[in-house]
């Protein structure tokens, strides 16, 4: 490790709030839910009929026809978000970079839309020749590869697939690559587009989807709401920032990741707490220095209880004065993209010194946070913030950012 500091110089976002990081932040800051009723072209038998879905998106505005035929919806989202991030970082559109640039983009499933559509055609339509673009559209590394090709990035490139921790791990690994001296910059994040009839039905079978609203940490909560989108960030070493005279948005100071090595779906207090503690150690700060936590906060009964206990274990008495909120009721649970969407919110909370609310909250649950910034956001003096991601499979990942100095 050469100890290089890591800065975020650009970020881009596609979410149910629309195109652009500013739209997501406007929704999160104001407590405006992007969840609505979902309609599918094909008949489906689901009882839950709400999700945070982007209704209007024109991929042809971003991707040439010759490339678009190889791009599933999740790849399209990633390319659009990457374009925004690169422009904000000060790079020219489609600027060719080099072998000192890594690309790491996480996803839970990859080309879910293509998988659902083509399986339907295969088993029910049974007409026409097979589509030869299915494999390159569905592979989980497609988003990474298209972004890498788009900007001529010849350094390490790969996909992370760690369920709900995918994006956070991708971002953290990009920072580690920069610190190690392996690369000078990294395009990182997560993308997911799996609001399809079959996947929706599968999640409903787990009995974790809320039929009416996602209510993290609230009494009466009964599940999460699926979402989709992408968040992409340009990370750069201090040397790269100085050489380009770039203006950082924020500094990425800490990353921690652990494995529960326990149950495939039930979260573990020690694993979640360990990831937060590792991130604090990596950042070289004490728990009392954290000014805001964007919680994983899914709204499921078990997850919110476990995360509350883990937060108590890490922050102790400081937790009573520490603002903690969940933005998932705003943009939905983006699964492989969740950590990226939430890092956009976390970064903007630091830059605007504002704590976004946990909307849909009804009343305290004795086993959860008693005041998760309920329903109305508030001003705050935020210099350091944490973002949590805890995934099925017991994979935990945490990021810490600090205002750029």
Q: Supply the residues annotated as catalytic.
A: 164, 296, 333
Nearest C-alpha neighbor of 275 from the set 189, 188, 162, 388: 388
Side-chain half-sphere CA neighbours of 333 within 13 A: 30
Side-chain half-sphere CA neighbours of 48 within 13 A: 29
Phi, psi angles (nearest 5°) of residue 143? -60, -45
d(CA 238, CA 248): 10
Note whether 340 and 385 are within 8 A (CB): no
Strands 250-259 and 6-15 come out as antiparallel
- Which residues face 209 on adjacent strands? 224
DSSP-assigned letter for residue 121 = I
Determine which helix (DSSP H) or strand (DSSP E) holds 244, and give its type and residue range. Answer: helix 238-244
d(CA 308, CA 282): 22
Q: DSSP 3-state assignment of 233?
A: strand
Nearest C-alpha neighbor of 202 from the set 130, 124, 271, 108: 108
- Which residues face 15 on adjacent strands? 18
d(CA 82, CA 13): 8
d(CA 147, CA 154): 11
Q: DSSP 3-state assignment of 355?
A: strand
Work out the burial of residue 281: count CB atoms within 10 Å of its CB; fewer than 13 is exposed, 13-18 middle, 19 or more buried: exposed
d(CA 8, CA 241): 10
d(CA 335, CA 78): 14
- Token look-up 């110089």 returns 9
Handedness of CA 332, 333, 335, 341 (dihedral sign): positive
């Amino acid at each position: 490790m050469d100890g290089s500091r890591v800065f975020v110089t650009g970020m881009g976002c596609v979410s149910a709030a629309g195109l652009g990081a500013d739209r997501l932040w406007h929704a999160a800051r104001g407590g405006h839910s992007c969840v609505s009723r979902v309609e599918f072209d094909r008949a489906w038998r689901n009882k839950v009929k709400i999700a945070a879905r982007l209704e209007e998106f024109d991929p042809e505005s971003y991707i040439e026809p010759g490339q678009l035929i190889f791009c599933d919806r999740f790849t399209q989202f990633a390319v659009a978000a990457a374009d925004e991030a690169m422009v904000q970082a000060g790079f020219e559109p489609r600027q060719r970079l080099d072998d000192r640039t890594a690309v790491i983009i996480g996803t839970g499933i990859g080309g879910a839309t293509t998988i659902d559509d083509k399986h339907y055609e295969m088993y029910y339509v049974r007409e026409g020749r097979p589509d030869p673009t299915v494999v390159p559209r569905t592979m989980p590394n497609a988003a990474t590869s298209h972004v890498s090709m788009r900007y001529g990035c010849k350094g390490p490139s790969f996909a992370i697939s760690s369920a709900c921790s995918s994006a956070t791990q991708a971002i953290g690994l990009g920072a580690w690559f920069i610190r190690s001296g392996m690369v000078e910059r990294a395009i990182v994040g997560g993308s997911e587009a799996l609001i399809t009839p079959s996947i929706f039905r599968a999640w409903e079978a787990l009995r974790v989807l809320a039929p009416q609203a996602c209510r993290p940490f609230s009494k009466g909560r009964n599940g999460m709401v699926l979402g989709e989108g992408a968040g992409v960030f340009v990370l750069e070493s201090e040397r790269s920032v100085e050489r380009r005279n770039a203006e950082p948005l924020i500094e990425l100071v800490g990353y921690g990741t652990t494995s529960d090595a326990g149950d495939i779906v039930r979260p573990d207090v020690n694993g979640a707490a360990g990831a937060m503690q590792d991130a604090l150690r990596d950042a070289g700060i004490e728990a009392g220095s954290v000014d805001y936590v964007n919680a994983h906060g899914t709204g499921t009964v078990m997850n919110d209880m476990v995360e509350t206990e883990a937060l108590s274990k890490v922050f102790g008495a400081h937790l009573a004065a520490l603002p903690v909120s969940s933005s998932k009721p705003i943009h939905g649970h983006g699964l492989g993209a969740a950590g990226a969407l939430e890092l956009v919110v976390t970064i903007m909370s630091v830059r605007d010194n504002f704590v976004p609310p946990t909307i849909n909250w009804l009343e305290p649950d004795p086993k959860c946070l008693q005041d998760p910034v309920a329903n109305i956001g508030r001003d705050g003096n935020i210099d350091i913030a944490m973002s949590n991601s805890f995934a099925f499979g017991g994979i935990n990942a945490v990021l810490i950012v600090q205002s750029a100095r």
